[in-house]
């Protein structure tokens, strides 16, 4: 197995497909592990008890910090934690029934994704990108992913095409099972497969970095009714173009897909806002 500094490899482990994109020895990595990308779905009736969730974090392979980050990110996206809310480490440690160390790491990760602003000697507060900045982030994401898809259409190896087809098929199975959490995990593997197929380590690096910034917002739109099936149809257009070696078609299909993701997030955010107004 290639373990060089600019390798991209697909492998199987646990209960599903995991794909890692590696860009240099210390470069970013992307996996289908949901802990790396976005907040969890709250089950019907509301989110689980946060203390219980944090204490059981290691049971599903997540660290305590990751579990706490997922919970806080979910609350920020849903508006439970409003912009400007102070995130007190001691209070959060008490709430999640953990030490301050995983709380501090969770806040650091949230700051890296732009959901939290860390102020020297003044603590951390919930942040929120402006509407214009969020639109700009999705525009950049669309162009980066379009370029990845375009290059993948002309550079993927037969093995990589097989891997893309396999993960696309797994996504279809997730629609039938109605499991949005699992769909999200495999969706990350789908996009990472395309990054790897582009065979451009620098492009993969900056695409991953941008994706990390928009991950909470991309993740949230999967809550919209019927979104999983629509997402798969958009993916199908991308896969078809890549398999045909259609560089222009792959770019256009991916650009349309990411634009739709941005529109779906706005629809989700509006529904949350209207729901709070009704209450």
Kindly report, residue by residue over 26-47, the tens digit of the pLDDT. Answer: 333 333 333 333 333 333 334 4
Q: Is the pLDDT of residue 197 over 60?
A: yes
Q: Is the pTM of this model over 0.85?
A: no
123 vs 161, residue with greater confidence: 161
Residue 13 — pLDDT band, cuts 50, 70, 90? very low
Residue-wise DSSP of 133-185: HHHHHHHHHHHHHHHHHHHHHHH--HHHHHHHHHHHHHHHHHHHHT-HHHHHH
- Position 114 scores a pLDDT of 83
Same domain, 88 and 140: no
Structural domain contains residue 279: no
Question: Can you tell me the distance from the alpha carbon of 170 to that of 128, in angstroms, rounded to the nearest whole number?
Answer: 34
- Position 38 scores a pLDDT of 34
Same domain, 154 and 219: yes
Counted domains in the chain: 2
Same domain, 220 and 249: yes
* pLDDT, tens digit (0-9, with 9 covering 90-100), for 231-252: 999 999 999 999 999 999 999 9
Q: Is the pLDDT of residue 202 over 90?
A: yes
Same domain, 18 and 61: no
- The mean pLDDT of the chain is 79
Domain span at residue 174?
8-38+130-274
Same domain, 17 and 111: no
Structural domain contains residue 150: yes
- Position 179 scores a pLDDT of 75
Structural domain contains residue 186: yes
CATH code for position 92: 1.10.10.10
Share of the chain above pLDDT 90, in %: 47
Same domain, 55 and 147: no
Same domain, 116 and 230: no
């Amino acid at each position: 197995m290639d373990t060089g500094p600019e390798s991209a490899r697909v492998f199987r482990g646990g209960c599903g497909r995991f794909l890692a994109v590696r860009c240099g020895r210390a470069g970013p990595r992307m996996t289908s592990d949901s802990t790396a990308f976005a907040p969890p779905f709250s089950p019907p009736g509301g989110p689980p008890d946060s203390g219980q969730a944090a204490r059981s974090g290691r049971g599903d392979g997540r660290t305590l910090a990751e579990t706490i980050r997922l919970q806080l990110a979910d609350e920020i996206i849903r508006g439970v934690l409003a912009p400007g809310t102070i995130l007190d480490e001691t209070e959060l440690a008490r709430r999640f029934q953990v030490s301050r160390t995983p709380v501090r790491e969770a806040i650091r990760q949230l700051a890296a994704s732009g959901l939290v602003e860390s102020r020297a000697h003044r603590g951390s507060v919930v942040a929120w990108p402006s509407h214009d900045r969020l639109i700009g982030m999705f525009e950049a994401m669309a162009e980066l992913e379009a370029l990845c898809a375009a290059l993948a259409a002309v550079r993927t190896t037969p093995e990589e095409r097989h891997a893309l087809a396999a993960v696309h098929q797994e996504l279809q199975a997730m629609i039938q099972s109605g499991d949005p959490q699992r769909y999200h995990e495999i969706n990350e593997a789908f996009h990472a497969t395309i990054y790897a197929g582009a065979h451009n380590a620098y492009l993969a690096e900056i695409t991953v970095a941008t994706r990390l910034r928009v991950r909470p917002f991309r993740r949230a739109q999967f809550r919209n009714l019927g979104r999983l099936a629509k997402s798969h149809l958009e993916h199908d257009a991308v896969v078809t173009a890549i398999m045909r070696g259609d560089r222009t078609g792959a770019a256009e299909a991916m650009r349309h897909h990411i634009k739709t993701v941005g529109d779906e997030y706005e629809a989700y955010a509006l529904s949350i806002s209207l729901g709070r107004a009704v209450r």
